[in-house]
Structure 1
Amino acid sequence: MQSIPTIDISPLKDTAHPDHDATVQRILDACTDIGFLSITGTGVSPDTVNQVRAKTREIFDIDEQSKWDQAITRNNYRGYIPMGFFTPNDGSGKADKYEGYKLHFEVSEDHPVRDDCALYGPNLWPAEVPGAQDVILEYWSQLDHVAELLLGALEIGLGLTPNVLKAAFATPMTNMTLLHYPPQASDEEGFGIHPHKDTDALTIIAPDPVGGLEVQTRDGGWITPDCPPGGFVVNIGDMLELWSGGQLKSTPHRVVNKSGKERYSFPYFAVPRHNVVVEPLLPPLPGFDRPSVHCGHWSAEIWRTNWPDENATVDTPELGTLSS
């Protein structure tokens, strides 16, 4: 059975560290095997994580009408995501049992990138939760640094040109989703989030002590990441799988909250800038055949097809799909 290793990534901060190369190899091994790892040594303090968790709870404690006033729209996929809004994109299964609050890479109204891609812009920061913007953006900035360390390690481990991955994340489409999962009854069908693969490059998440995240092994079983206090769970998304020609593994995972407690989560999704085209940088593994992906088009299609009355077309990237 596959397992999810825990790796101290602090040696990545110094290429002369005696454990640097071994750490790179351990990360590569995890990402080519199960596609998940738990990491420590990030430099992100537990207090910072606790502050984000507290602000996330406060955002979901806002009264219902105010949350709906801040809801996502077709023209601005930022803000509140109502409970039960999403179902699997193939139309199967019950609605997911969570409510969310969507945040994208923060730019001002007059930022020049908005002339090239309408998906950029300022976020909706709830006035009812003072300090949320500062707390979350500081955490976001720290995870940007963690993502850069991991991308650098994968460049080395895969033998890629230095900075070929990291350079793709200048003015990125990186985003976060704040999530609230009410408890499900022990006999209740459905999922907090249905089994899926992430369509980004890299996901970083501070696990909620309540638990509920499950990862699929190659034999079809499900396991729970063993992440120590203060650590983070990281997983490969479809974009890094595509960049690596299939060597890095984007693995299905799901959330089931039958703990009897409220669960809060705030995953960070690393996505390249809008005009990056993701295609294999290495010879694809036998049988790996996926089309290249334009990040701006991909993101627009992800947000568009999340609406219950919208469907994928022949121009929709195939990332994120699960094999039957």
Structure 2
Amino acid sequence: MQTIPTIDISPLRATNHPDRAEVVQQILAACTEIGFLSITGTGIPTEQVDSVRACVRAIFGIPEPRKWEQAITRDNYRGYIPFGFFTPNDGSGTADKYEGYKLHHEIAPDDPVINDCALYGPNLWPVEHPEARDIMLGYWAQLDLVAHDLLGALAEGLDLPPAELQAPFDKPLTNMTLLHYPPQGDDDDGYGIHPHKDTDALTIIAPDPVGGLEVQTRDGGWITPDCPPGGFVVNIGDMLELWSGGRLVSTPHRVVNKSGKERYSFPYFAVPRHDTVVTPLLPPQPGFVRPSVHCGHWSAEVWRTNWPDEGATENTPELGTLLS
């Protein structure tokens, strides 16, 4: 598959819809052949996405000193991510050209799950924009429903009970990253975000009108998702690839912003509950060999190795690795 299909997923919301089985097979084909698809029929109003985008712009418009006061720390992976903070974890290349703001699944500070996994807790919401919490969490709740439908469809397509892929997302480690990419010059050979694979289960993103997202095809070329207005781009992450025994494809992608405009993005990363052990639910495909992954440990390692002075160890899961 050299193109990214657009699929109306509205039939997934009715178990007896006459087109449901066909839609399930379309989703499965996209996720096994290229690992990306554009979706419509989510039920999420365009006005809600516009409201989120305006909120993201406002957050990055906060004065620089105040943003730094709300920056992430080694003890709390929530809040502002400074421009140029992240580099490829293998130490190659230059720093990615974006600034971010990290949000996680919202958990009350007295929730007992915090005692089991330090990655849980309340988010750090920018005080300059008190409306941000309700706007973001309302949108987040809608994406939870879309992810639930997609996971159920993929389970159905793989001849698995839907609960096999849906149940691990009770009190998940799902997160969002708000992103701002300044325009890159024509002679800039760096990246907004370097080529990588997502290490989650499933990613959902409302594409920015200025473009910049590029997806690698099986022959090594790069294409841009053709997502209609009001649609969303979805891609498979390494956890679903592992769950499926290599049938679903986690595909490299990157961001290059040569549009001359400011680019704003807010991807949603579906990550299972902290105590989930991700292991093949089906016999692995020939040549697919990968160890099981403990979700809490994996998530902590992703956070730890994001710091420029930290590196992977023998205990770091090899998810997200690009083969040379």
What range is the shorter-chain TM-score in?
Answer: over 0.9
1:143 matches 2:143 = yes
* Structure 2 alignment gaps of length 5 or more: none
Matches of 2:97 and 2:30 in 1, distance apart? 30
| 1:40 corresponding residue in structure 2 | 40
| 2:87 corresponding residue in structure 1 | 87
| 1:231 corresponding residue in structure 2 | 231
* TM-superposition CA deviations, 1:254-281 (whole Å, max 9, x none): 0000000000000000000000000000
| 1:3 corresponding residue in structure 2 | 3
Matches of 2:250 and 2:162 in 1, distance apart? 23
Q: Measure how far apart 1:308 and its partner are.
A: 0.4
Matches of 1:45 and 1:163 in 2, distance apart? 28
* Structure 1 alignment gaps of length 5 or more: none
Q: Secondary structure at the match of 1:165?
A: helix
Q: Measure how far apart 1:189 and its partner are.
A: 1.6
Q: Measure how far apart 1:200 and its partner are.
A: 0.1
Matches of 2:162 and 2:83 in 1, distance apart? 43
TM-score of the pair, normalised by structure 2:
0.99
| 1:132 corresponding residue in structure 2 | 132
Matches of 2:159 and 2:197 in 1, distance apart? 25
1:211 matches 2:211 = yes
| 2:75 corresponding residue in structure 1 | 75
* TM-superposition CA deviations, 1:109-133 (whole Å, max 9, x none): 1001001001100000001112000
Matches of 1:198 and 1:54 in 2, distance apart? 26
Q: Measure how far apart 1:192 and its partner are.
A: 0.1
Matches of 2:213 and 2:145 in 1, distance apart? 24
Matches of 2:260 and 2:214 in 1, distance apart? 17
Matches of 1:170 and 1:268 in 2, distance apart? 16
Matches of 1:311 and 1:211 in 2, distance apart? 32
Q: Measure how far apart 1:101 and its partner are.
A: 0.1
TM-score of the pair, normalised by structure 1:
0.99
Matches of 1:296 and 1:77 in 2, distance apart? 14
Q: Secondary structure at the match of 2:233?
A: strand
Aligned length: 324
Does the 8 A contact of 2:151 with 2:162 survive in 1?
no
Q: Measure how far apart 1:15 and its partner are.
A: 1.2
| 2:201 corresponding residue in structure 1 | 201
**Could you tell me which amino acid in structure 2 is paired with residue 322 of structure 1?**
L
Q: Measure how far apart 1:223 and its partner are.
A: 0.1
**Could you tell me which amino acid in structure 1 is paired with residue 161 of structure 2?**
T
* TM-superposition CA deviations, 1:33-59 (whole Å, max 9, x none): 000000000000000100000000000
* TM-superposition CA deviations, 1:170-228 (whole Å, max 9, x none): 00000000000000001112000000000000000000000000000000000000000
* TM-superposition CA deviations, 1:214-263 (whole Å, max 9, x none): 00000000000000000000000000000000000000000000000000
Matches of 1:50 and 1:157 in 2, distance apart? 33
| 1:243 corresponding residue in structure 2 | 243
Matches of residues 134-283 of structure 1 in structure 2 within 5 Å?
A: 134-283=134-283
Matches of 2:114 and 2:314 in 1, distance apart? 27
Q: Measure how far apart 1:161 and its partner are.
A: 2.2
Q: Secondary structure at the match of 2:269?
A: strand
| 1:312 corresponding residue in structure 2 | 312
Identity %, equivalent residues:
77
Does the 8 A contact of 2:153 with 2:162 survive in 1?
no
Does the 8 A contact of 2:104 with 2:175 survive in 1?
yes
Q: Secondary structure at the match of 1:164?
A: helix
- State the Cα RMSD in Å: 0.5
- Please list every run of at least 4 consecutive aligned residues from structure 1 whose deviation after the TM superposition is greater than 4 angstroms: none
